Amino acid sequence: MRIAISTGGGDAPGLNAVIRAVVLSAHARGWECFGVRRGFRSIMTGERTNPLDGFLALGPDEVRGITHLGGTILGASSHGNPFRWPKILEDGSVMEVDRSDELVEAFRKAEIGALVVIGGDGSLKIAYELTKKGVPIVGVPKTIDNDVYGTEATFGFDTAVSTATDAIDKLHSTAESHDRVMVVELMGRYAGWIALHSGVSGSADVILIPEIPFSIDRVCQKIMERESRGRRFSIVVVAEGARPQGGDLVLQDEAGVGRVERLGGIGAVVAEEIATRTGKETRSLVLGHLQRGGSPTTFDRLLALRFGAAAVGAIASGRLGTVVVYAPPEVKVVPLADVVGKQRLVPLDSGIIQTARSLGTSFGD
C-alpha cells in the first residue's frame, strides 16, 4: 500500500503533528508514504518525467521531532485549487482552467492507494470534488478558524485562541495605564470562534463577531457606561468578519482568479468610530498571522496526532471519501459529503455567549 499526504490552504499549528502521526501509523502497517509539497503544487508545477516526480518520500526519519513545530514540513499554498488553476495568457491577463484531470492522472500513475488531505473547508471541498473523480481520499480538518462543519474542533484553533488571549491580556496594561480604548482585530474569516473564546477568556469589554451584527452606538454606550463607573479604559475584540447592522464586510482584497477574498480592516474602522463618537483616545491593532504561528498547544498536538492516526485507520478499513472529526470524547469518521459546503458558525444560543453576557460583556447588539 502506498499513501500520500497533502497540506492545503493556510498553515495552522498542529500540521506537522498530523503528518508525523500519518507517517508513523502507515509505517507501522508496512505502507509507503509520500508527501505532496505546497498543497498540490509540487505535482501541478515542474517537469514530470517519472511517476513519483513531485512526491517526497516520508518515513520515520523524516518526521522525527516535528510534533511541536508550527508550520508544515510539506509547505502550504492558498492558491492551489486544481479545478480553478490560474493560467497567464499571452496578453498578460489571467484565466482559470480546470487541471484536476492531470492531478487525478498523476495520483493514478504514482499508484497512490489513498490520499490524506489535511485542510480547511476550501481544501476539503477540493478533496470532495477529487473523490468524485475516483481519487481515494480521507480528509483531516485543519484551521485556526474552527469553522469546519461536523467537527467540534479543528486543530490549530486552540493555539490561535491562546495567542489571542495572551495578546488581550497584554493590551490591558496599556489600555489601563493610558485610559485608552484598545481595539484588537482577530482572524476567523466568517466565524467568530477565535474572537469569542479569546475575548471571554481575556475579559474583553466588547466582543464583535460576524454572527451578531453590531451597532456602533451600542459599542460606544458600553464604553461610556464603563467610563461613568470610573473604568476609564476598554478592550474591544473584533473578529475580522464582524460587520455593522445593515453594513458590509470590510475586505483587504476582493476574490480574484485562483484566490479567495481577504478579510481585514474592520478593527481600524471601529476604532475610528469610537474615537470620534466618545472622544476617547483609541488605538487599534491587527494580530494577524501571529495567530497561525508557534508551537501547537497540548490540546492541538493531541487532536492532530489522533486525527492522523485515525485517518490511517480509516484507510485501512476502507472508509474512503471520508473525513475524520472530533466528536468528544471520540475521533470518528464521517462522509466528506456531510461536511463540505457548510459553515460552522457560533450558534446564537451558545453557552459561551450567554456566559459573556452574564459577565456584562457587550456584543454591540
Q: Which residues are catalytic?
A: 145
How does strand 322-327 pair with strand 137-141? parallel
Which single residue brings its beta carbon nearest to ligand F6P? 187
CB-wise, 35 or 264, nearer to ligand F6P? 264
The count of residues interacting with ligand F6P (CB under 6 A) is 13
Instruction: Assess contact for 210 and 241: CB atoms under 8 A.
Output: yes
- Residue with C-alpha cell 457560533? 346
Q: Rounded to an integer, what distance in angstroms lies between the CA atom of residue 318 and that of residue 333?
A: 11
Residues 103-122 binding ligand F6P (CB under 6 A) are 120
Instruction: Assess contact for 285 and 174: CB atoms under 8 A.
Output: no
Measured between alpha carbons, how far is residue 186 from residues 70, 208, 267 in Å? 19, 10, 9
Residues 6+ apart with CB under 8 A from 184: 164, 167, 168, 171, 235, 236, 237, 238, 267, 284, 285, 286, 287
Between 128 and 157, how does the x/- string for binding to ligand F6P read (CB under 6 A)? ---------------xxx------------
CB-wise, 13 or 35, nearer to ligand F6P? 13
Instruction: Assess contact for 219 and 208: CB atoms under 8 A.
Output: yes
Among candidates 326, 336, 305, which has minimal Cα distance to 137?
336
Residues 6-35 binding ligand F6P (CB under 6 A) are 10
CB-wise, 43 or 144, nearer to ligand F6P? 144
- Least distance CB 223 / ligand F6P (angstroms): 26
- Least distance CB 263 / ligand F6P (angstroms): 5
Report the residue from 41, 189, 280, 306 that binds ligand F6P according to the rule CB under 6 A: 189
- Least distance CB 117 / ligand F6P (angstroms): 16
CB-wise, 144 or 320, nearer to ligand F6P? 144
Residues 216-255 binding ligand F6P (CB under 6 A) are 240
Residues 64-83 binding ligand F6P (CB under 6 A) are 78
- Least distance CB 262 / ligand F6P (angstroms): 5
Report the residue from 21, 117, 182, 263 that binds ligand F6P according to the rule CB under 6 A: 263
Residues 6+ apart with CB under 8 A from 87: 94, 95, 96, 97
- Least distance CB 266 / ligand F6P (angstroms): 12
- Least distance CB 9 / ligand F6P (angstroms): 7
State the maximum Cα–Cα separation within the chain, in Å, rounded to a whole number.
73
Residues 159-188 binding ligand F6P (CB under 6 A) are 187-188
Q: What share of the chain is helix, strand, coil (3-state, %, to 5)?
A: 35, 20, 40
Instruction: Assess contact for 72 and 36: CB atoms under 8 A.
Output: no
Residues 6+ apart with CB under 8 A from 44: 80, 82, 85, 99, 102, 103
Report the residue from 292, 301, 306, 344 that binds ligand F6P according to the rule CB under 6 A: 292
Residues 298-357 binding ligand F6P (CB under 6 A) are none
- Least distance CB 280 / ligand F6P (angstroms): 28
CB-wise, 226 or 292, nearer to ligand F6P? 292
CB-wise, 67 or 143, nearer to ligand F6P? 143
CB-wise, 20 or 189, nearer to ligand F6P? 189
List own/partner pairs for 79-83 with CB under 8 A and 24 or more apart.
79/258, 79/259, 80/8, 80/38, 80/39, 80/40, 80/41, 80/44, 81/122, 81/126, 81/258, 82/40, 82/44, 82/126, 82/130, 83/126, 83/129
Q: Verify binding: residue 203, ligand F6P, rule CB under 6 A.
A: no
Point out which residues bind ligand F6P (CB under 6 A).
10, 78, 120, 143-145, 187-189, 240, 262-263, 292
